[in-house]
């Protein structure tokens, strides 16, 4: 266990942040999401009113529930088990193209996508709540001060919509026009069209580099990159080669009184230590606290936890 000294630093101090790892952040689910069971390389989940079976290499143990529970699933995904790999869904009945769910004040659509995703990553709830607590506390301290957040690889927008409900001004960037469309759809579904969110369809690396040249800064940065991806003009993103340069640029985008930066990595075959050290190198003069570890989902009726991703997050206080 690394030094867990509490640090309180509003502006960069010129000192390295205190460090804490390993940290495990748990999500126990909410009304519209539960991890029901896992085992034999699969997971059984409930999203809203539908139960879903998907491949999960991290589910290496035995199933807890009987096969009858699994066999009643509304949808089963089969195909490539890699995040980048396409596959197919098999449905047991008439399942709609989309269905509505909610997390706090935000409503969003679930949808069965070809890459086994359903429009939301439930393990991120631990970060959503943490970011909202940071935004809420800062708004209470300085209610008249604009609070700017940058959300890169923003996907379907929950990590943008939630802090915006607390008064943050959010810039949401994703290279996929479809993802931007889904995010704006979720904004409309939530009846939150008046929130100050900029929806930008662009390659994240190019956007960040341009913001550096413009001298823009942000009080909080959320970074949730894929292992591999392509921008709208064929730009290639590779986590292992592209992330260091992007983090170097993002450090320049932190305002003098920045609150946080979050990095999540779904390259589970990597190590949280690797991304921790990269963040520590990038933020070596920011002071504050840097904590890293894994995001996990706790099984509904069991004692088991499913590891889903790695994270490293910095906060100034």
The pTM assigned to this predicted structure is 0.91
Q: What is the CATH number of domain 33-95?
A: 2.60.40.1180
Q: pLDDT band for 255, please (50, 70, 90 cuts).
A: very high
Query: pLDDT at position 19, please?
Result: 96
**Residue written as token pair 């519209």:** 32
217/256 Cα distance (integer angstroms) = 9
Burial of 205 (0-12, 13-18, 19+ CB in 10 A): buried
Q: What is the pLDDT of residues 36-61, one digit of tens each?
A: 999 999 999 999 999 999 999 889 99
What pLDDT is attached to residue 8? Answer: 38
Q: At what angle do helices 125-141 and 158-165 cross, to 10 degrees?
A: 30
Q: What is the model's pLDDT at position 7?
A: 38
**141-158 pLDDT tens trace:** 999 999 999 999 999 999
Q: Region 62-73: what's the mean pLDDT?
A: 96
Decide if 18-28+121-315 and 33-95 have a common fold: no
pLDDT for 114: 77
Would you say residue 1 has pLDDT above 50?
no
Residue 9 has pLDDT above 90, yes or no: no
CA distance 263 to 228: 15
Domain positions in the chain are: 18-28+121-315, 33-95
Q: Domain 18-28+121-315 classified CATH 3.40.50.150? A: yes
The pLDDT confidence band at residue 2, using thresholds 50, 70 and 90, is: very low
Angle between helices 204-214 and 239-253 in degrees, nearest 10: 30
Predicted pLDDT at 234: 81
pLDDT for residue 103 is more than 90? yes
């Amino acid at each position: 266990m690394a030094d867990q000294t509490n640090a309180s630093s509003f502006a960069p101090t010129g000192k390295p942040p205190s460090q804490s790892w390993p940290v495990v952040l748990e999500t126990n689910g909410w009304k519209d999401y539960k991890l029901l069971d896992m085992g034999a390389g699969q997971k059984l989940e409930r999203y809203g009113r539908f139960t879903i079976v998907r491949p999960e290499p991290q589910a290496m143990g035995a199933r807890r529930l009987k096969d009858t529970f699994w066999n009643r699933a509304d949808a089963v995904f089969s195909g490539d088990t890699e995040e980048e790999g396409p596959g197919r869904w098999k449905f047991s009945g008439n399942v709609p193209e989309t269905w509505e769910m909610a997390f706090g004040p935000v409503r969003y659509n679930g949808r069965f996508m070809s890459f086994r995703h359903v429009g939301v990553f439930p393990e991120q709830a631990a970060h959503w709540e943490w970011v909202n607590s940071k935004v809420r506390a800062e708004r209470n301290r300085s209610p008249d001060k604009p609070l700017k957040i940058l959300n890169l690889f923003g996907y379907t927008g929950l990590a943008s919509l939630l802090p915006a409900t607390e008064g943050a001004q959010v810039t949401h960037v994703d290279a996929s026009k479809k993802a931007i469309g889904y995010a704006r759809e979720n904004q409309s579904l939530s009846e939150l069209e008046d929130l100050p969110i900029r929806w930008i369809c662009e390659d994240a690396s190019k956007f960040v580099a341009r913001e550096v040249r413009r001298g823009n800064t942000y009080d909080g940065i959320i970074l949730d990159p894929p292992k591999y991806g392509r921008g709208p003009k064929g730009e290639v993103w590779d986590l292992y080669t592209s992330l260091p340069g992007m983090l170097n640029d993002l450090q320049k985008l932190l305002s003098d009184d920045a609150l946080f930066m979050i990095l999540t990595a779904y390259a589970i075959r990597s190590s949280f230590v690797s991304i921790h050290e990269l963040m520590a190198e990038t933020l070596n003069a920011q002071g504050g606290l840097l904590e890293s570890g894994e995001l996990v989902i706790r099984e509904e009726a069991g004692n088991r936890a499913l590891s889903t991703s790695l994270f490293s997050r910095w906060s100034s206080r």
